[in-house]
Amino acid sequence: MRFLVLFTLVFAWQHAHAEVYKCTGKDGKTVYQSKPCQTAAKAEQLDIQADPEVEAAAKARREALESEYDAKKAAKLETERREAILRNQTESAAALKQSAIAHQQQVEAQQRQAAALERQAQQGANPVMIVAPPVVLPAPTVPQAPVAPVMPSGPAAKDQTLR
């Protein structure tokens, strides 16, 4: 934005000091140009001088635009800074909330564990007798003498042994 304003003022300043020629052609048309007239019925050089009041007004407008731009830029930076602070606070609050939830869950788990230990201690104060069912032992077995294998006898048995 500054560059554009500065460029416009420099460009206007250079043209304010430029020479201008008024050329009237044979057909009666008037043309203004920056170069001297070459073929014209009437040629005249115009003396254009910058007006100090106009230049002062243009300078004042430029300075006003620059200060307005700087003010907008500062406001934008301040808004971004505030948004960053707010975002940081929101993230911190969310992290603290998660931490509190985790802490609460841990406390509840400890309370459940303490209650279980207390129940266990109360059961230990009132002993309970557990009686096992009677065990039936199997009857003793008498060892028997080993039995010798019986060999087949007869003509079929002889056939089987020869093979």
Residue 112 has pLDDT above 60, yes or no: yes
51 token code pair: 């007006």
d(CA 154, CA 38): 156
Question: What pTM was estimated for this model as a whole?
Answer: 0.39
Mean pLDDT score, 106-126: 87
40 and 22 in contact (C-beta within 8 Å)? no
Span 60-80, pLDDT tens digits = 999 999 999 999 999 999 999
The burial class, CB within 10 Å (0-12 / 13-18 / 19+), for 66 is: middle
Confidence of residue 109 (pLDDT cuts 50, 70, 90): very high
101 token code pair: 């939830």
Residue 120 has pLDDT above 80, yes or no: yes
9: nearest Cα among 60, 49, 43 = 60
Confidence of residue 104 (pLDDT cuts 50, 70, 90): very high
